Homo-oligomer: A and B are copies of this chain.
Amino acid sequence: MKKSIGAGTYAVPSPVWVVGTYDENGKPNMMTAAWGGVCCSRPPCIYVSLREATYSYGNILKRKSYSVSIPGEEHWREADYTGIASGRETDKFKDTSLTPIKSEVVDAPYVEEYPLVLECRVKEVVSLGLHTMFVGEVIDVKVDQDVLTNGRPDIQKIKPLLYGSGDRGYHSVGPRIADAFSIKTPPK
C-alpha cells in the first residue's frame, strides 16, 4: 500500500548539466540546471528548464543558442557553485578558473574542462509556470577522447553527477548492470 505525499518534483534521477550562454555584451556565462533531458531522437533534441529570473534565461532568448557541458563528479563543487551564483553579479568562469570555449556551430560557449558537450540551437520555448523549457536541437557533440568507448560517450568514464530532488543531494553513477534491449521475452 503506497502512501500519498502530494504533488512534487520527486522523479529520479535528474541530471546535473551546466548551461553555457553569452550575454548581450558577449560575456560567457554558465549555470547549473537539474531540470533537463533528451526529448527527441531525430532530430536529436534536449531541453533545459530555467526560471525567468536567471541571467541565462534572457541570454538564451536573445542568442537562440546554448550549450550543455556535463561535468564529471570530481567537479561537483564548481557545478554546485555555478548553480547558486548569478552571472548578473559575477563572472563564474573567472571565479572557478574554468575555461569558456566559443562554439563554432552555435552562438554559445562551453566548458573546456567538462568531458561531454552538446551544442544546441533553440527549437521550441515552452512556458510552464515557474520554469520555461528551452528545447534545443543538438547541432554537434564535443567530447574528450578519454571518455569514449567504441567511439561513443561512456557514462562509466564520464562519471556524471546525479541530482536527487528528495534529498537535494548529488550522487554518483554506480556499476553497469546490463545491456538494454536484451529481454525480448517475458522474464521469469
Contact = CB atoms under 8 A, between A and B. Distances in A.
How many copies of the chain does the oligomer comprise? 2
Interface string A149-188: 1011111101011111111111111111111111111110
Contact of A80 (B42, B68, B148, B181): B181
Contacts of A154: 164, 166-167
A12 interface: yes
B126 A13 contact: no
B162 A166 contact: no
A10 B126 CA distance: 23
Nearest to A184: B84
Interface string A1-33: 011111111111111010000000000000000
A12 B155 contact: yes
A161 B170 CA distance: 16
A49 interface: yes
Interface in A78-100: 78, 80-81, 83-85, 95-96
Contacts of A8: 44, 138, 141
Interface of A: 2-15, 17, 34-47, 49, 68, 70, 73, 76-78, 80-81, 83-85, 95-96, 112, 116-118, 123-124, 126, 128-131, 133, 135, 137-145, 148-149, 151-156, 158, 160-187
